Amino acid sequence: MPVEEFVAGWISGAVGLVLGHPFDTIKVRLQTQNTYQGIVDCILKTYRHESVLGFFKGMSFPIASVALVNSVLFGVYSNTLLALTATSHQERRAQPPSYTNIFIAGCTGGLLQAYCLAPFDLIKVRLQNQTEPRMQIGSSEPRYRGPVHCAASILREEGPQGLFRGSWALVLRDTPTLGMYFVTYEGLCRQYTPEGQNPSSATVLVAGGFAGIASWITATPFDVIKSRMQMDGLKGRKYRGMLDCMASSFQQEGIGVFFKGMTLNSARAFPVNAATFLSYEYLLSLWR
């Protein structure tokens, strides 16, 4: 089993993560708290109350976990394609796999990464939603002191299943959308690259960026439900399950609730995924 894809997936994921985390924090807050009037209001309140550090809350844990999550996504994707088409990453420019096989491999990578991502993503969301400023004497203590304390508290208060709260919504968010992610990336690369050649860096950046946007636009409805399910349990249970969360969110806030955070998801998706694919392709070309 080629391991280069796993390593390249890990490093490229970390690059993308740091770039996109501030967008992600604002998005999570808008999706789960009704105290903000919009993106600008949320940015201003976060900055005034918590300084620039507020935008990077909950980042240390994803940085540690991105090794596992992104390497699973890219490693499983590439190895599934290898199993389906008997071509390695290097051979795929000369013998391009069909879009159906790319979609199946992307969905498989998405499904497996969702399971690895679930507990890390839950801890990230809980920490991002803590609005108490850090390190200020006299200010109220945040509920979680950091990722390890957060994980231990969830285990104690909500049991091991608490760490997987929202994982069904996460699986539904990631499985089809990651199929689409790789299909869009490959489609755009093929469109703008002469046959048999490797795509240029500019093509990889644009194709990666648009693959990110397309996948995150379609992922947003389940992203909202996932974040709400992950926050449920913090102060008792509000929802009886994923369907109840969807129904009551819709009843209370209308259809627009499923598109909360879509602008931020798309704005974040372009630079994050352009950087992710560029570093992924670059690292694989070094090891060729």
Ligand X SMILES: CN(C)C(=N)NCCC[C@H](N)C(=O)O
Cβ count within 10 A of residue 182: 25
CA R_g for the chain? 19
For ligand X, which is the closer residue by CB, 21 or 234?
21
Q: Is 4 in the site for ligand X (CB under 6 A)?
A: no
Shortest spacing between CB 174 and ligand X, in angstroms: 5
Beta bridge partners of 234: 236
Instruction: Tell which one of 273, 275, 277, 281 touches ligand X (CB under 6 A).
Output: 273
Per DSSP, 89 falls in state T
Q: How many residues bind ligand X (CB under 6 A)?
A: 16
**Among 189, 183, 186, 184, which Cα is nearest to 202's?**
189
Instruction: Tell which one of 7, 10, 13, 79 touches ligand X (CB under 6 A).
Output: 13
Site for ligand X in 202-241 (CB under 6 A): 212, 215-216, 219
Instruction: Tell which one of 169, 269, 274, 284 touches ligand X (CB under 6 A).
Output: 269
Cβ 105 vs Cβ 99: under 8 Å: no
Cβ 29 vs Cβ 128: under 8 Å: yes
Q: How many helices (H) and strands (E) does the chain have?
A: 9, 0
Q: Is 61 in the site for ligand X (CB under 6 A)?
A: no
For ligand X, which is the closer residue by CB, 67 or 155?
67
**Among 1, 18, 87, 11, which Cα is nearest to 284's?**
11
**Binding piece for ligand X, criterion CB under 6 A, among 121-129, 142-150, 244-252, 269-277:** 269-277
Beta bridge partners of 102: none
Q: Is 277 in the site for ligand X (CB under 6 A)?
A: no
Distances (CA, A) of 45 to 32, 131, 136, 139, 157: 15, 9, 17, 16, 30
The residue type of 178 is L
Both tokens of 41, joined, read 């209001």
Shortest spacing between CB 216 and ligand X, in angstroms: 5
Site for ligand X in 149-178 (CB under 6 A): 173-174, 177-178
Q: Is 79 in the site for ligand X (CB under 6 A)?
A: no
Shortest spacing between CB 194 and ligand X, in angstroms: 27
3 state SS of 234: strand
For ligand X, which is the closer residue by CB, 174 or 281?
174
Shortest spacing between CB 268 and ligand X, in angstroms: 7
Shortest spacing between CB 110 and ligand X, in angstroms: 7
For ligand X, which is the closer residue by CB, 57 or 234?
57
Q: Is 25 in the site for ligand X (CB under 6 A)?
A: no
Both tokens of 104, joined, read 């199946």
Provide DSSP, 209-249: HHHHHHHHHHHHHHHHHHHHHHHTBBTB---SSHHHHHHHH
Per DSSP, 129 falls in state T
Site for ligand X in 111-150 (CB under 6 A): none
Q: Is 249 in the site for ligand X (CB under 6 A)?
A: no
State how far Cα 15 lies from the chain centre: 13
Q: Is 276 in the site for ligand X (CB under 6 A)?
A: yes
- Which residues sit at the interface with ligand X, rule CB under 6 A? 13, 16, 20, 173-174, 177-178, 181, 212, 215-216, 219, 269, 272-273, 276
